[in-house]
Amino acid sequence: MSTPQTSIRTEQCQPQSAAARGRQDAPPPEHTIVIVGAGFSGTAVAINLLRLAQRWPLRIVLIDQGQIARGVAYAARHYPYLLNVPAGRMSATSADPGEFLEFAQRSIPDATAEDFLPRELYGDYLESSLASAELSAPAQVRLERVRGLAIAIDRPHRNGVLQVHLADGRHVNADAVVLALGNPPPARLRGTEALLGSARYVENPWKSPPRFRADETVLIVGTGLTMADIVLAGSQAARGRARIHAISRHGLLPAPQTSFRQTHHEHDSAPLLQAASLSIRQLVRATRALSHDLALRNGDWREAVGVVRGVAPALWQRLQHSERQRFLRHVRCFWDVHRHRLPQSSWAALSKLRESGHLHIHAGRLSALQHAGDRIRVSWRARGDGNPTSLLVDRVINCTGPDYDLRRTHDRLLRSLLAQGLAVPDPLGLGLATDAHGALRGAWGRGAAGNIFYIGPMLRPEHWETTAVQELRDYAERLARHLARRHLQLNSAVVP
């Protein structure tokens, strides 16, 4: 037995060959993370990756067909759309809650934490934050901005490297891909097939927000935040003289924001968690009890919404599948109008339009849309009334909000992933199935790819609250740390 041991020790003491020394001294290979989508979520992931202390060479490729760091939400528009959240709660980093406000005060010195500032200014902030993170990043970390439309992802070789294909024929190799695709367009309205392609039917208002004429009658389908944006911008163009009808199933408008003190950390969320384990009915009762308790103490019901929002992922995960279905069918519309609120100035402007008779809100369902000469005849039924009603309008605008049901998606990239089994849609139509780190789950119930991740509103199947900056910045920070750890582990395995 002594001979082999001596032989091993002898071999270990022998000088290394020049080739072996060269392999050991060579720098580790560059790791590439491709981020598809450069709105808030994709930009936030890139910023966090740039700010982390990376030991190994890292290349971050940020791909978007639009302007980097703005996306649809913060693009420059003809109308000064406002953020729906006060400036003091819009920082892109949890480490510095006042970062956005400080940035805003450079151009608006009297801005306060409670002000609702222009969305375009927030885009300026994201651009500035990305540029600053790039300048201060470690020397071995670099950022590339690519203008293009990603249409497919595949793995052509067995080494695990992915290829992201662009519509113009280019492709980018990646060790990991982050999908930050933003909000999908609205679902197509029933009965609109004959109107497709007509200037009188606007299927996605954010592609090109329409301006109203003073003499036209407009029907908007949906009464949420998108409707509010389109009505306020369109009415300004028409000088408040357009006739606008807005219809939704319940005819509910978003509630206004107020300057209330965020103190939900002081409230016990245990009753809410216990109620969610039982049923959505019990959870609604517990939320109402919390709101009533706040009112007795001269509080604001919005604080109850803040408490629920703070533990929303835990509440959602405790609800059984059947209870989630009940929430979506019966409670979601009421949650949305209390959770997603309007700036007081926007709410007051809508109220003024209603009082003047230029804006009419209806609760009901569309029955049919038909061409009537150069106009559109709309048939609809009011809620609780079986008799049809007819309305003649000049334009119909789909403001029903994003359609997260990927079984209906027309997005080429998502359709490609679904066809390959690299992604699966949530059965409730809320988005994508993902694991705790945001990795896509494959068609066989596990991470089929392992290195394709998602961040954005379609995380709802696991977390529910995934649409606001306050939640998405936390997801971005966690995902960046996970990607950095994964990068470290992969390179540690390659380099002794």
Contact yes or no for 52/484 (Cβ under 8 A): yes
What pLDDT does 267 receive? 66
**Bridge partner list, 173:** 163
163 within a domain of the structure (yes/no): yes
Instruction: Let me know whether 243 and 270 are in one domain.
Output: no
Strand pairing class (201-202; 217-221): unpaired
* Number of CB atoms found within 10 A of residue 155's CB: 16
Residue 9 lies in a domain: no
pLDDT (tens digit per residue) in 59-106: 999 999 988 998 889 988 888 999 999 999 999 999 999 999 999 999
Among the listed residues 344, 326, 281, the one whose alpha carbon sits nearest the alpha carbon of residue 83: 344
Cα distance between residue 478 and residue 459, in whole Å: 14
Residue 199 lies in a domain: yes
Q: Comparing C-alpha atoms, which of 179, 126, 181, 44 is closest to residue 477?
A: 44
Which residues are registered as beta bridge partners of 378?
A: 369, 391
- Helices in 382-468 by DSSP H: which ranges? 412-420, 460-463
Four-point Cα dihedral 60, 61, 64, 66, nearest 10: 80
**DSSP category for residue 246:** E
Domain span at residue 289?
264-339
Q: What is the CA radius of gyration of the chain?
A: 26
Q: Are residue 168 and residue 290 in the same domain, yes or no?
A: no
Last residue of a domain, one of 313, 339, 365: 339
Last residue of a domain, one of 339, 368, 390: 339
Residues 231 and 116 in one domain: no
Residue 411 inside a domain? The answer is: yes
Give just the sign of the alpha carbon dihedral 429, 230, 471, 166. Answer: positive
Largest CA distance in the chain: 101
Among candidates 469, 439, 442, which has minimal Cα distance to 457? 469
- The residue out of 398, 416, 431 marking a domain boundary is 398
Specify the number of domains making up the chain: 3
Angle at 350 between CA 346 and CA 356, to 5 degrees: 145
* Cβ neighbour number for residue 297 with a 10 Å cutoff: 7
State phi, psi for 403 to the nearest 5 degrees.
-100, 105
Same structural domain, 204 and 281: no
- Domain harbouring 349, CATH code: 3.50.50.60
Query: Is residue 438 a part of any domain in this protein?
Result: yes
Contact between 380 and 185 under an 8 Å Cβ cutoff? The reply is: no
Predicted confidence at residue 263, as pLDDT, reads: 55
In residues, how long is the chain?
496
Residues 197 and 225 both lie in one domain: yes
- Give the sign of the dihedral formed by CA 295, CA 296, CA 298, CA 299: negative
- Do 307 and 351 belong to one domain? no
Q: Are 309 and 379 within one domain? A: no
If asked whether residues 204 and 292 sit together in one domain, one would say: no
Phi, psi of 453 (to 5 degrees): -120, 160
Q: Match 């299927």 to its residue by tokens.
A: 203
Q: Are residues 174 and 82 in the same domain?
A: yes
CA distance 273 to 41: 28
Contacts of 190 (CB under 8 A, 6+ apart): 366
Instruction: Looking at the structure, tell me whether residues 175 and 105 fall in a common domain.
Output: yes
User: Could you tell me if 455 and 477 are in contact, meaning their C-beta atoms sit under 8 angstroms apart?
Assistant: no
**Residue 204 and residue 287 in one domain:** no
pLDDT score, position 193: 82
- Is 62 among the domain residues? yes
Structural domain includes residue 300:
yes
Asked if residue 361 and residue 247 are part of one domain, the reply reads: yes
Q: Averaged in consecutive runs of 10 residues, what is the pLDDT profile of the chain (496 residues)? A: 36 44 60 96 97 88 93 88 94 96 97 96 97 95 96 84 95 96 91 82 86 92 96 87 94 89 64 94 95 87 90 94 96 95 95 95 92 91 90 95 93 95 93 92 66 95 92 95 85 56
Tell me the β-bridge partners of 372. 375
Residue 492's pLDDT is 67
> Is 6 a member of any domain?
no
The CA distance from 38 to 247, in Å, is: 33
**What order do you get walking across the sheet with 388-393 strand by strand?**
201-202, 395-398, 217-221, 243-248, 359-372, 375-382, 388-393
